[in-house]
Chains A and B, each alone.
Chain A
Amino acid sequence: MNQSLFVIILNFLVDSLTFGAVFMYGSTGEIITEKGGHLNLGIPGIMCMGGAGGCIALAVLAPVVPPAVLVIAGILTAFLMASVMGVIYSFLTVTLRANQNVTGLALTTFGVGLMKVLMSNKNLMKAEVYLVKPKDYFRWPFSLLQRPLQDAGLSAVQGLGIMFFMAVAIAIVASIVLYRTKIGLNLRAVGENPATADAAGINVTRYRYLSTIIGSGIAGLGGFYYIIDYMVSQEAYLSIEALGWLSIALVIFVLWRPHMTIPGSFLFGVLFSCSPFLAALGMNITMAAKPVFKMLPYVVTVLVLIISSVRNKRENQPPASLGLNYFREER
């Protein structure tokens, strides 16, 4: 009994960790974007488009290419499709100076809708082709230990696939680039005070475009990872949007520090999926109580916001020109 309780808890924690990687992608991408001064509320739509793009690439390519190549192609396509959304966002806000909030929300609506159209195409999207075939390759290396893990009852460990480790790596690299390199310094300057950055000879337009495009691409991987690796289900795409909003909340929760998304996303994963876990432990959780549990990540985000606002430490505030478009003032 004790043994199995330990196994249940361990499974739950590992599962939360792998689930959290969805947020890790989404928030890391959004942090890179926000550090450049863009408040991209299109993240949910972008994650949807990343998911749709990757899955379509898998469905089309699965019959013709070897599975290992399929993994790379899927990841690249997801990144590209999401980046295209980033290009649209940057073009609208930087070049055409559209309002960032409106642009972002429009992209979310657009991305979610387009993904639903694409993913509901039953002729193209056959689960056994795009989900089942590459599954073991995405879940390398633990997929090699499938049998022993299942025997030990630790099937959740299989979820620690290459895309999970990629998420961790990207979050760490993003922090290093942002806080330890010249590029990061320049990008933060653009997000804090674009006029000063401009006067110092930094190309504000280029930095804003690139940070938004790369950030979007990374966020898009989150959607793809969720469908193809975490859920491995045909209906998974329907719940990406909610995860996108949670990713934006996580950005605030970790106070714009990419590496902190690793523990942060784990916590969000735990909070978000704790109701089935508690049920498995024998607690009586009614249907009505479930949404209350799903609310927890937002509640802790609000708490963090309140605490950081009260402490009012400059380092913990959002980038100073977040949400503001920049254009050189002519007289």
Chain B
Amino acid sequence: METERIPSLEMRGITKRFGEVVANRNVNLKVYPGEVLAILGENGCGKTTLMNMASGIYFPDEGQVFVNGREAVIRSPKDAYDLKIGMIHQHFKLVDLFTAAENIDLGIRGSNLKDVNARVREIADKYGFVIDPEKKIYEMSVSEKQTVEIIKVLYRGADILILDEPTAVLTLQEIRKLFSVLRSMVQDGKSVIIITHKLNEVLEVSDRVAIMRKGEHIATVDTCDTNESQLTEMMVGKKVALNIERSEPLDPSPRLEVRHLNARDKEGLPVLKDVSFTVNGGEILGIAGIAGSGQKELLEAIAGLQPLDSGEIIFHNPKKDKPVTYFHKSQRRVRELAKQGAFHYTDGRPVDVKTMTRRQVTAGEVLFNEDEIMNLRDKTPLQIRQLGVRLSFVPEDRLGMGLVGNMGITDNMMLRSYRKGHAGMLNRKKPAELAKQIIQELEVVTPGISTPVRRLSGGNVQKVLVGREISSAPKVLMAAYPVRGLDINSSYTIYNLLNRQKKSGTAVIYVGEDLDVLMELCDRILVMNSGAVTGIADGRTVEKEELGYLMTKTHHAGGEEAEQE
């Protein structure tokens, strides 16, 4: 019986490439009238790309699309609307300054704004939306904006609705409401496709699930015949061996302690929920999670860029038994510390400030008694540096936050050191040497040290950034998706650099998206989900399915079930 129905949308043998990268490979998909199809998969598995081809944003390289059994060519969003396909993107496409009705009516010829208001109300009543057509978008909450987007699509007569991660920004109640609206649309004979990576939502709202992994369609199953563990397994797949070098951590001691961090985004929604963990010197701590689970905010909080509601960030500066000269240049400061009795000599005798000589200090015979412990909370990046904390951060947005695209490598090195030099004049010599050294050691392909970095390829840009960040011999190195967009060789170069830092005693925090890499590179893996830590696993023994489960399980308001396994 199932087979005799005509699918309202069918995609057959779809392949899409972006340059070298294959985003979709031979994907087949069917959705029938009156059902909710969930497309489930990790980040970057090609879910959104596939649906963009149904809605006219991209055009497939190979394959065919059928709408109601007839082959269709969809070259623009307008073509998609004409075929009654409408997509609600993750980033809303609305004009903030316009009212809901104006946005809904935008681009439609020959309509009258008064009729629009009436029709919007009619659609809202039919499916149970609550909306004020004359409210301006910039006055709306995220959920209201989403409602406008959905009505916009329905208003244009869509029978096939595609929603890209619609629940990512909603509260639990708003999600319930959305789902009930989706159900009433399905009862009305429409087809709904929902892109998601949340298992519980898949089980709650969908009739069938299509699972995708690394651009390929793995299977489509009836929701009633499946369960969470089966879905997780299909989603993350079997473990793939990569042979990334991993040494045993040497003498791990706590370097950075994060305690009960809570933070909110600009809209006031929580982005970090009671995050606690410790990173040791000499280990790589991986952070896994679906994109947008709070990884970026966590790193930025440590770097002093994200305001916190509560929590502590404790840094252990490993000064114990290290020479004073290693940390302090100012003799006055050394004397102050000596007065406080912070030092001992190489042979273990305590230092007396009266007998201590400058020669002893410069010869490295005066050592610290204890590690220094400081709280980095509410410090700006500059204050953190002035405290003598060598913290390096390789941000996700390389050319936005990490480097200045229009400047050459030397100038980019100077972003870290421009305060050095005398009488307001820049010292260009050392940065130029550093630039040459990085080009040579990391094999950066560039015409010269003054070529603007935006002209370099992604891998080379990343090498320049990582090179600069590790050149200051950091105590903590944070890297967010450092191999994103890089080819295999460049990726391995980066893994080696991280490993070298680890061996020299640095605490490395690596945020990644490829579970296979995380499992081979990291000593421990912390999993984040919706801003909370759902578990910390041992990188050597953890099962891939377990990570997948920790990443996707949802725990809503109330008791946080942060189990450690």
Contact A320 B97, CB 8 Å, known A185-B102, A199-B77, A314-B138: yes
Task: For B107, list chain A residues within 8 Å (CB).
Answer: 186, 189, 197, 200-202
Task: For A314, list chain B residues within 8 Å (CB).
Answer: 96-97, 136, 138
Contact A192 B77, CB 8 Å, known A197-B106, A202-B107, A314-B136: no
User: Do A201 and B76 have beta carbons less than 8 Å apart?
Assistant: yes
User: Do B97 and A192 have beta carbons less than 8 Å apart?
Assistant: yes
Task: For A195, list chain B residues within 8 Å (CB).
Answer: 93
Chief secondary structure at chain A's binding surface: helix
Q: Write out, one digit per residue, whether chain B residues 109-128 have a CB within 8 A of any chain A CB (1) or not (0).
A: 11100000000000000000
User: Do B106 and A189 have beta carbons less than 8 Å apart?
Assistant: yes
Task: For B439, list chain A residues within 8 Å (CB).
Answer: none
Task: For B93, list chain A residues within 8 Å (CB).
Answer: 193, 195-196, 199-200
Task: For B109, list chain A residues within 8 Å (CB).
Answer: 182
10 A–B pairs (Cβ distance < 8 Å), ordered by A: A188-B95, A188-B98, A189-B98, A192-B95, A196-B94, A197-B107, A200-B77, A200-B106, A201-B107, A202-B107
Counting CB contacts under 8 A, is A315 at the interface?
Answer: yes
Nearest CB on B from A201, distance (A): 4
Tell me the total A-B contact number using a CB cutoff of 8 A: 53
Task: For B96, list chain A residues within 8 Å (CB).
Answer: 192-193, 314, 320
Task: For B138, list chain A residues within 8 Å (CB).
Answer: 314
Docked pose: A192 CA to B109 CA in angstroms: 20
Counting CB contacts under 8 A, is A331 at the interface?
Answer: yes
With A185-B106, A199-B93, A315-B97 given, name 17 new contacts (CB 8 A): A182-B110, A188-B98, A192-B96, A192-B97, A192-B98, A193-B93, A193-B95, A195-B93, A196-B94, A196-B106, A197-B106, A200-B106, A201-B76, A201-B77, A201-B107, A314-B136, A320-B96
Which residue of chain B lies nearest to A190 when distances are taken between CB atoms in the complex?
Answer: B95
Task: For B81, list chain A residues within 8 Å (CB).
Answer: 201
Counting CB contacts under 8 A, is B78 at the interface?
Answer: yes
Q: Number of contact residues on B: which range applies? A: 20 to 34
Q: Number of contact residues on A: which range applies? A: 10 to 19
Chief secondary structure at chain B's binding surface: loop
Closest 7 CB pairs of A and B: A200-B107, A196-B93, A201-B78, A201-B107, A200-B106, A192-B95, A193-B95
Residues of B71-117 whose CB lies within 8 A of A? 76-78, 81, 93-98, 102, 105-107, 109-111
Nearest CB on B from A82, distance (A): 29
Task: For A185, list chain B residues within 8 Å (CB).
Answer: 98, 102, 105-106
Which residue of chain B lies nearest to A198 when distances are taken between CB atoms in the complex?
Answer: B77
Task: For B98, list chain A residues within 8 Å (CB).
Answer: 185, 188-189, 192
Task: For B97, list chain A residues within 8 Å (CB).
Answer: 188, 192, 314-315, 320
Docked pose: A215 CA to B138 CA in angstroms: 29
Nearest CB on A from B115, distance (A): 13
Docked pose: A186 CA to B98 CA in angstroms: 11
Contact A196 B77, CB 8 Å, known A189-B106, A314-B138: no
Q: Write out, one digit per residue, whether chain A residues 170-199 have a CB within 8 A of any chain B CB (1) or not (0).
A: 000000000000100110110011011101
Which residue of chain A lies nearest to B81 when distances are taken between CB atoms in the complex?
Answer: A201
Nearest CB on A from B462, distance (A): 18
Docked pose: A185 CA to B95 CA in angstroms: 11
Docked pose: A100 CA to B78 CA in angstroms: 29
Q: Write out, one digit per residue, whether chain B residues 240-274 have a CB within 8 A of any chain A CB (1) or not (0).
A: 00000000000000000000000000000000000
Task: For B111, list chain A residues within 8 Å (CB).
Answer: 182
Docked pose: A321 CA to B136 CA in angstroms: 18
Nearest CB on B from A317, distance (A): 8
Residues of A104-146 whose CB lies within 8 A of B? none
Q: Write out, one digit per residue, whether chain A residues 195-214 have a CB within 8 A of any chain B CB (1) or not (0).
A: 11101111000000000000
User: Do A189 and B95 have beta carbons less than 8 Å apart?
Assistant: yes
Nearest CB on A from B469, distance (A): 27
